[in-house]
Structure 1
């Protein structure tokens, strides 16, 4: 009987490990989809870049970031508070914004109301973008790439944030956003 255990147990462990890997891969978020969840973590809505463009008014935000030095970038995307309102979760006091790499930022409704962050999905084309064939000659905006922090990047108006937010609160600038949920 002990020899049978010696043969069966390792195979069972191997099988259980394989199932865990498949389940983890099945649960990995899609980096090209924004998911809105309820407080229980259940998905209530999903958005692609195209659906955000169609369902929301895109706002322009020209700002430096904590990592861009003095240079500014012009981003475009819907206001986070519009997304929260349309999905019936704007009344929460706090939200978690989750990134593809498992980073989680807690953001208060007070911050969202005071500074109106956008969920950037595009940035203005530059001459460098055109020289690198990232934009056509007549193209004004291009989708955010992974190198830009996209496809979804929570962008704030840096010059309007209190001084103590930089660098103490840089976690509110979330790259690779995949989920937003009230807490």
Structure 2
């Protein structure tokens, strides 16, 4: 006589549940493999659109610290290129420091001329954090504004408003321009846009 074992209804339910769990895991694994294959195919066959970017001229052979944009062109400076320009030094009092401070750097107008941006109506000075101030172009000519590279003879760290800082000769300015100049003195400068 042959005996057939029959599962009780409880055992059959448990067996079905275990099988259903295995099927779900198998389907989930197949789904992940399919997604990976699709991602690889997309990455392989889809190429980014060709985008034309205006050519950038450069005086920078090292790390770019300042980009000047004018008339659809951009010019990049590294620290060495800025240091190669004639330097000015001002000892000034400012609202940011408790004592007079000495700043050194090239004139803003010399930086603009070196970048081929010798004319315009305004200069948008942009900081690393995207803060921007609009400097009237004539300020670069009339007030000997500098791009400070050093403070008290030392390079400025980002913590000390560096590495670049727009500095006016504050103590020699007419009172109405002096007050305005504090708001135009962009520190952590990394871009100039001439309009």
Shorter chain as denominator, the TM-score bin is 0.5 to 0.7
Query: 1:99–1:177: 8 Å Cα contact kept in structure 2?
Result: yes
Q: Which residue of 2 aligns with 1:49?
A: 79
Provide Cα deviations, 1:96-132, integer angstroms capped at 9, x if missing partner. Answer: 11111111111112212111111001122xxxxxxxx
Q: Map 1:110-149 onto structure 2 (within 5 A).
A: 110-124=138-152, 141-149=153-161
Question: C-alpha root-mean-square deviation of aligned residues, in Å?
Answer: 2.2
Q: What is the rounded CA distance, in whole Å, between the counterparts of 2:181 and 2:110 in structure 1?
A: 23
Change in 2 beyond 3 A, CA 1:171/1:79: same
Q: Which residue of 2 aligns with 1:127?
A: none
Q: Which residue of 1 aligns with 2:173?
A: 161
Cα shift at 1:166: 4.9
Q: What is the rounded CA distance, in whole Å, between the counterparts of 1:84 and 1:32 in structure 2?
A: 16
Larger RCO (CA under 8 A, 6+ residues apart) = 1
Unaligned stretches of 5+ in structure 2? 1-62
Provide Cα deviations, 1:68-115, integer angstroms capped at 9, x if missing partner. Answer: 24x211111111000111222121111111111111111112212111
Query: 2:170–2:181: 8 Å Cα contact kept in structure 1?
Result: no
Q: Which residue of 2 aligns with 1:171?
A: 183
Q: Which residue of 2 aligns with 1:36?
A: 68
Q: Which residue of 2 aligns with 1:130?
A: none
Unaligned stretches of 5+ in structure 1? 1-30, 125-140
Q: What is the rounded CA distance, in whole Å, between the counterparts of 1:143 and 1:112 in structure 2?
A: 23
Q: Which residue of 1 aligns with 2:50?
A: none
Q: What is the rounded CA distance, in whole Å, between the counterparts of 1:80 and 1:96 in structure 2?
A: 12
Aligned length: 135
Q: Which structure 1 residue ranges, 4+ long, deviate > 6 Å from structure 2?
A: none
Compute the TM-score of the two structures, normalised by the length of structure 2: 0.63
Provide Cα deviations, 1:15-45, integer angstroms capped at 9, x if missing partner. Answer: xxxxxxxxxxxxxxxx9610111244x4x21
Q: Which residue of 2 aligns with 1:180?
A: 192
Cα shift at 1:169: 4.5
Compute the TM-score of the two structures, normalised by the length of structure 1: 0.66
Q: Which residue of 2 aligns with 1:65?
A: 94
